[in-house]
Copies of this chain bind each other. A is one copy, B any other.
Amino acid sequence: MFFRTAEDESFMRSALELARQAGCMGEIPVGAVVVREGQIIGRGYNQREVLRSPLAHAELIAIQEASRALNSWRLTGCSLYVTLEPCPMCAGAIVNARIQRLVYGAFDPKGGCCGSLINLLALELPHQTAITAPVLEQECSQLLEQFFQGLRA
């Protein structure tokens, strides 16, 4: 869980910027980027309410954009950065897309399936994705806490 690269914080800051965009729209602030050879090829932020879609999580939107960029369902050699530990759907999409490495910011004790409730990426599935976490945990979790405090205010 603790292998890191020099670029991790920089790409997580890009994901945080996208998460803030979600928050400005009244969405739970989660952002994600897909990176290949040092370049961002997919961006996403949570748009469940705006798009009225249960599939519109940051990770799925970023994966879809990266697939279009590569014209393939196989995101071989790609890393996905996301500000919050993925849910089961997004963890499964990461495996289905053959993403090489997942980097996430904050843990999600209630719904996270990449180490918290369970680690889906450790199942005997057709592909294995490495995990690095947490990266910029404090910034990522603070953004979520501030959002939920705002809702209760």
Interface residue ranges, A against B (CB under 8 Å): 48-49, 51-57, 60, 63-64, 67-68, 71-75, 87-93, 95-98, 110-111, 113, 117-118, 120, 123-126
Q: Contacts of A97 on B, CB cut-off 8 Å?
A: 54
Q: Which residues of B contact A98 (CB under 8 A)?
A: 54
Could you list 15 further interchain pairs (A-B, Cβ under 8 angstroms) beyond the known A55-B64, A88-B125? A54-B75, A54-B96, A54-B98, A57-B96, A88-B88, A88-B91, A88-B92, A88-B123, A89-B91, A90-B92, A111-B125, A113-B123, A117-B123, A117-B125, A120-B120
Interface of A: prevailing SS: loop
Q: Which residue of B lies closest to A87 (CB)?
A: B92
> Least Cβ distance of A31 to chain B in Å?
18
Question: Which B residues touch A56, using CB under 8 A?
Answer: 73
**Residues of B with C-beta under 8 A to A67:** 52-55
A71 touching B52, Cβ below 8 Å = yes
| Shortest 6 CB-CB contacts between residues of A and residues of B | A89-B92, A88-B92, A54-B97, A54-B73, A54-B96, A89-B93
